Amino acid sequence: MQTFDALRPVTFSRRLFIAGGALALTGIGIRATQANAVIGRAVEVNGEVTRRQADHLEGLKAGASLMDHDFVATGKESFAELALGDDTSLLLGSETELLIDTFIAGQGGVIELGTGQMVFDRPEGLAKIDLTVRTAFGMIGVRGTKFFAGPSRGAFAVFVEHGLVEVSGGGVTRQVGRGEGVDIAAPGAAPSEVTQWGAARIREAYASVGIR
């Protein structure tokens, strides 16, 4: 995982995060998880990354287990790669806040993206899962895919590398497919028209989560 000093991600307030909508992944139903069950691990940690569980705050190290209700935060110029289950990865950029509310391997759960940016990566061809990623911006319905979500060129953006997502906000829903993206100018605003992203913008977005 690489760091990129030239890129400084836009951050959004915690207040907007709490009041915001959700990125929703549609699929099969989710059963309740056992409290404090191990649901993943930290694969790679670069820089200052912390994990808070209830009132306990600690530094997150590579190899550490992840549990439901873990709140992971990355510092400036810091990155983290998290594995949920055996086949789902989350790449977090610098100054990013992520709450793993619940997760069941192969089924889904609820994740909250506060500030910063992330890449959700689930290989093509796997069974669909039902995952919800809440943010201050709209709703995204995802079918086992790889996508970027976070600040990009002055807006909150969603870009799909493979798969298909539905991005909803302000009463408007857009279907976003392979190589396409949308922008959301502000919390509660409608997503823009779907556009093909160029190579330069894709590189910028991925660089913000440490992907070269």
Give the pLDDT confidence score for residue 40 in this predicted structure.
94
How would residue 19 be classed by pLDDT, with cut points 50, 70 and 90? very low
**Cα end-to-end distance, the chain, whole Å:** 8
Considering only 1-10, 52-61, 149-158, which range has the smallest mean pLDDT? 1-10
Residue 39 pLDDT greater than 90, yes or no? yes
What's this model's pTM, rounded to 2 decimal places? 0.81
Mean pLDDT of the chain: 84
Give the pLDDT confidence score for residue 18 in this predicted structure.
40
Write the Ramachandran bin of 65: left for phi over 0, alpha for psi from -120 to 50, otherwise beta.
beta
How would residue 7 be classed by pLDDT, with cut points 50, 70 and 90? very low
Give the pLDDT confidence score for residue 164 in this predicted structure.
86
CA dihedral 66, 15, 172, 185 (to 10 degrees): -100
Q: What is the mean pLDDT of residues 6-24?
A: 42
Q: Break the chain into its structural domains and give their ranges.
A: 20-207
Q: Write the CA distances from 135 to 48, 81, 127, 150, 203, integer angstroms.
A: 23, 19, 25, 9, 23
Interval 118-177: pLDDT, tens: 999 988 888 888 888 888 998 777 777 899 999 999 999 999 999 888 888 899 999 999
How would residue 36 be classed by pLDDT, with cut points 50, 70 and 90? low
Q: How far apart are CA 160 and CA 212, in angstroms?
A: 17
Cα 35–Cα 141–Cα 206 angle in degrees, nearest 5:
90
Which tokens belong to 44? Answer: 């790679």
Q: How far apart are CA 172 and CA 74, in angstroms?
A: 32
* CATH annotation of 20-207: 2.60.120.1440
